[in-house]
Amino acid sequence: MKMKLAALLLLTATAFAGSAMAAERTVTLKVEGMNCVLCAPTVKMSLAKVAGVTRVEVSAAKETAIVTFEDTKTDVNALTAATRNAGYPSHPAP
Ligand SMILES: [Cu+2]
């Protein structure tokens, strides 16, 4: 029992240290091809599934996806690959 508690505390401490070091970044992606009401949720799902993504806001009207992610876990290339694999090519908005 004591061992389990110690292991749990260690895990918790490690998790905190990890999150303290990770930097959150937000990128706006220009997403092509969102032309019906199901597109935005599809794009949102594809991005939300990427490990390290913490927040996704998709606008079909603006053709954008605003994605917040931990830059130690994923990167912009992985995000654009995720939307491309879902059928919606994207690139970082200028
Ligand atoms: Cu659609």
Quote the ligand 1 centre to 85 CA distance (angstroms).
15
Kindly give the distance from the C-alpha atom of residue 23 to the centroid of ligand 1, in angstroms, as a whole number.
Answer: 33
Q: Structure pTM?
A: 0.77
Residue 90 CA to ligand 1 centre (angstroms): 15
Tens of pLDDT along 74-90? 999 999 999 999 999 99
Residue type, 16: F
C-alpha of residue 68 to centroid of ligand 1, in Å: 23
* 75 three-state secondary structure: coil
Pick 20 or 22 by higher pLDDT: 22
CA angle in degrees (0–180, nearest 5) for 32-64-69 = 115
pLDDT, tens digit, 9 for 90 and up, residues 24-69: 999 999 999 999 989 999 999 999 999 999 999 999 999 999 999 9
Compute the distance from residue 71 Cα to the ligand 1 centre, in Å.
29
The single-letter DSSP state of residue 22 is: P
- Determine the Cα–Cα distance for residues 82 and 3; give it in Å rounded to an integer: 41
Residues with CB under 5 A from ligand 1 (ion): 36, 38-39
How far apart are alpha carbons 86 and 48 in whole angstroms?
A: 12
DSSP character at residue 67: E
**Res. 94 pLDDT band, cuts 50 70 90:** confident
Please give the biggest Cα pair distance in the chain: 57
Domains and CATH numbers, the chain: 22-92 (3.30.70.100)
CA of 20 to the centre of ligand 1 (A): 38
| Chain centroid offset of residue 14 CA | 22
